[in-house]
Structure 1
Amino acid sequence: MDWLEQLRWDERGLIPAIAQDHESGEVLMVAWMNRESLAETAETGRAVYYSRSRRRLWRKGEESGHVQRVHELRVDCDQDVVLLKVAQLGGIACHTGRRSCFYLRLEDGEWRAVEPVLKDPDAIYGKESP
């Protein structure tokens, strides 16, 4: 059986994908993959996701230059979540200019940014980013 067919894709043909730093174990981001993006990732060693908002493949770093080099691909026990162990080139995974997308922490009933912006998103993308 084809390794892609062994996975449990959702009704849209997507599977969640977690990007984790291959050295530190830090979770950098969560995105979605379809069969095409996962196959390309496995073939090239570069993280490729599926953008639900753009409805197309999203090669991580295509605009920002912050590419993810994949060291290892894993799947969970239910085969419905993919884990990518990556090297985050440029040190920034989040479109907000932070190392990780998980920079908000719940404190006293409010979400507070607890990680610094490493690079202004305007400087990365040349436009205003959230």
Structure 2
Amino acid sequence: MNDDTLMTWKIHMVKQNPGKGIAVLIFILTVSFFAGVAGESLIFLFLSLLVLGSYVLPYFVPVSYTLTEKGITIRTGWMTKERDWKEFRRWERSGNAIKLYTMKKPSRLDNYRAWLLRTGQKGDEVEAIVARKIVNTE
């Protein structure tokens, strides 16, 4: 851990709601099976497993969040995303998550450019750090 680390936490979404995890797994296996049957090849079965599985990967593996003085790091499986605080212009809290936006005013691009920090039980602590680092001007 760096000296400038403000906070680190992990969220494992499938542990929070195992019923959804089982339903998603059954859905992926069913769709992949039918893709293999329709394509008359095991290649289609494995290809659909790969595509659908990679799409829902963050739900099944722990996601690690690190807030530092410089920015934010999100680690999911083998992927690591990093951004500086200065890239974000506003934020808002919604339940057990905080959404960070890159534009000062709401935009159609928010869904593509924003970051979602799932806070779990640490919502108030994360909100305090985010509020200090990103000052909402609206």
Q: Same fold (TM over 0.5)?
A: no
Question: Which one has a bigger Cα radius of gyration?
Answer: 2
TM-score, structure 2 as length reference: 0.23
Structure ranking higher in helix proportion: 2
TM-score, structure 1 as length reference: 0.24
